[in-house]
Amino acid sequence: MQNFLDKLTATIDAINSFLWGPYFLIALLCGTGAYFTARLHLVQIFKFRMGARKLFGNFSLHGEAAGKSGMSSFQAVATAIAAQVGTGNLVGASTALVMGGPGAIFWMWCAAFLGMATNFAEICLAQIYRTKDDSGHMIGGPAFYISRGLKNPLAKPLAAFFALAIIFALGFMGNMVQANSISDGFSSAFGIPKWVSGAALALICCVIFFGGVKAIARVAEKVVPLMAICYVLVGLVIIGSNFDKIPSVIALIFKAAFDPSAAWGGATGATIATAMRYGIARGLFSNEAGMGSTPHAHAAANVKHPVDQAVLGIMGVFVDTFIVLNITVFVVLSTDVVTFENGKAVFSGISLVQEAFASQILGRSGGYGFVAICLFFFAFTTILGWYYFAEINVRYLLGAKFVKLLQILVVAFVFIGSVQKIDLVWGLADMFNGLMVIPNLIAIILLSPVVVRLLSDFNDGKSYDANDYK
């Protein structure tokens, strides 16, 4: 049996090397982002001010309860950011640094900039093609704009493929990975047994899942802002205490993007291709632009025009990468905790981030504990967001009557993921993440004329009627 699992793991790793390699998904995702950046005339720049005003102007910890008709615009973007801001902002950033060198961060920024336009397009389509399910809930996402937007016999099979992929990628495998990160963090920082963390996490998730979209939106709008603000503030204090190093850190990032050997004496052995691969792939894992996940939350937003919500997608990617993830990057690089022995990093993954925070104002126990708590909230809110996205696709495929079964299965997967780390599960999560990207990008590229027309009509002040674009 073990031999079979080893072979299966090796096969999945080989598939992922191709899927997430520079000649397939990385090129496809960046190319799609560049395409929408051009076709939408730099929408991420010219609509940034509008998005910032809507995000911070609608900031609230006490919004109206979400229901069948949807949720508020702020609750929708909070739910989306809850899914985006996860372990990728800590573990993903540190992995990119160690494996790809500081230059990987430059390519991470490039991917995020292009991804803003892609996310804008996804949300526009999710709003246009959303509908109500058999229980009266307002739902939408890639499965809906694939099946209802594409006039092609293959549209429904393609939508079903996406729905299955995201249920496995996020609802099951992805949430096991997030739960494992939480139990690992609490075990290393506080010595709490993994089964205790797993049982507590599963119980909390059970209560929130069975509370439905109302509970998920309520938790997201309260936890996400506080979580992000706390992490950013402590990070800024550390960065401020090393402010004299920031100019050289920025210079190193730009220089290493094109000359990786300039960093750390070439200890990483990274090339430009390696820096691009880890920077772009880890960046996309973090902000999820183009993966088709966050549009599910934005589709439920009650807004007058899809562009009103789509500009918040721009801000979601910005907050995830250019604020939260950058805090991790600049704390790690400004504290000089990246060291190598015999070509291997002394610290990597979450331990690198913990060591960076511990080396400054917080001390070892405080630094490790603070990062573990932040990791808990990051991963926990991602579990909530990813469960919600899986639920919408279960409603699409099977109907509302199967939601209870999904809730039970996800809670079980959360507990199992907490108590043991299975390399195969991580590989499967990566594979299904990659598979769900393909039908989503096909759909948004084919439906790009709809997005272009929608933005043009919005800029011209025309009134919105979804039927005009279907």
pLDDT tens digits, 177-207: 888 888 877 887 788 888 898 899 898 888 8
> At which residue do the structure tokens 């990987």 appear?
104
Q: What is the pLDDT confidence band of residue 212, given thresholds at 50, 70 and 90?
A: low
Q: Under 8 Å CB-to-CB from 206, ≥6 apart: which residues? A: 407, 411
Is residue 339 within 8 A of residue 104, CB to CB? The reply is: no
80 vs 418, residue with greater confidence: 418
Which CATH architecture group holds 12-456?
Up-down Bundle (1.20)
Model confidence pLDDT, tens digit, residues 338-370: 777 766 767 777 778 888 888 776 666 677 888
pLDDT (mean) for 451-462: 93
In 10 A of CB 32, how many CB atoms?
A: 24
Spatial distance between the Cα atoms of 468 and 470, rounded to a whole number of angstroms: 6
Predicted confidence (pLDDT) at residue 273 exceeds the cutoff of 80: no
Predicted confidence (pLDDT) at residue 167 exceeds the cutoff of 90: yes
**pTM of the predicted structure, to 2 decimals:** 0.87
Instruction: Give the domain ranges of the chain.
Output: 12-456
**% pLDDT > 70, the chain:** 87
Predicted confidence (pLDDT) at residue 439 exceeds the cutoff of 90: yes
The string over 364-388, giving b where at least 16 C-beta atoms fall within 10 Å of a residue's C-beta and e elsewhere, is eeebbbbbbbbbbbbbbbbbbbbbb
In 10 A of CB 258, how many CB atoms?
A: 11
Q: What interhelical angle do 403-419 and 194-210 show, nearest 10? A: 160
Predicted confidence (pLDDT) at residue 4 exceeds the cutoff of 90: no
Model confidence pLDDT, tens digit, residues 292-330: 988 998 998 888 899 999 999 999 899 888 988 899 899
Is residue 79 within 8 A of residue 385, CB to CB? The reply is: yes
- What distance separates the 2 farthest-apart alpha carbons in the chain? 64
Identify the pLDDT of residue 69.
45
Identify the pLDDT of residue 373.
83
Identify the pLDDT of residue 131.
87
Is residue 79 within 8 A of residue 217, CB to CB? The reply is: yes
Model confidence pLDDT, tens digit, residues 227-251: 778 888 888 988 988 888 999 989 9
101 vs 57, residue with greater confidence: 101
Identify the pLDDT of residue 453.
95
